Structure 1
């Protein structure tokens, strides 16, 4: 009987320590909001609503842009679009997110680029309005800009 109490007591102590450890564990860094929308203007290539999705892991961050308002003019192979998304920092300057990642797209498919990689600092407040997205497809550079501030607001990184 005494052995059973010791085992039960040890199990309760281990559980209590585990819960305490979780309470004091550092929280994961997160960007807020994780999704925002903009109205993109890509000149003769079109424009309309686009969704930006952001993630953060320490100082590394990614942003993916998707839009059904802009479509692929031709079939595009996976990872064939070279993209640079430049966001304006409320504290001054800008941050570039770059990469050559995109899904394969048939002619007329909605455009998706990313995740594009960038480096952020704690407290960065990044906004698409005032920045740009440059995509290079078959040697042709397409530049898109936001027609107004992103909604619900800038990405704020922990």
Structure 2
């Protein structure tokens, strides 16, 4: 008995080939697709005056994922007492080019000993593509032990505004 090789009809081979070609093109397109736009600069420095609580040079570090952005604030504000983790309610407002404010909020912070420098964040906010945000013109408010500490900027941030 002789065996014959059974081949699928030509139209089936063509269909499978087309699917494989389309899949290859799609993967190639993904490989060469531009990376998602990121905020620039990724961090900036600004000085805040927090009244009797001190102040000074503060670093704002930003990340972006689509229209969501987070900011971590590393301050020169010394903790007046030991601070428990996630015990500081924080609101950071940034001035938007063209007018208005964008607000970032959260209650995340590491545990901080008395005299340790206060770091808060990530603080969450919503941005739009092309937003240009500057800490100068906004405020940093932190609620510690029921007391609101309001910090005002003493100049513009360096190296410049965050552009999303």
Runs of 4+ with >4 A deviation:
16-20
Equivalent residue for 2:44?
36
Equivalent residue for 1:118?
125
Contact conserved, 1:42 with 1:142, CA < 8 A, in 2?
Answer: yes
Say which structure is richer in strand.
Answer: 1
Larger radius of gyration: 2
**TM-score normalized by structure 2?**
0.82
Superposed displacement of residue 32, structure 1: 0.3
Equivalent residue for 2:30?
21
Contact conserved, 1:91 with 1:124, CA < 8 A, in 2?
Answer: no
Q: Does 1:65 align with 2:73?
A: yes
Superposed displacement of residue 40, structure 1: 1.0
Contact conserved, 1:40 with 1:48, CA < 8 A, in 2?
Answer: yes
Matched residues in 2 for 1:77 and 1:108: separation? 13
Superposed displacement of residue 22, structure 1: 1.0
Flag structure 1 segments of 5+ consecutive residues without an equivalent.
1-12
CA RMSD of aligned residues (A): 1.6
**TM-score normalized by structure 1?**
0.85
Q: Does 1:133 align with 2:133?
A: no
Flag structure 2 segments of 5+ consecutive residues without an equivalent.
1-20
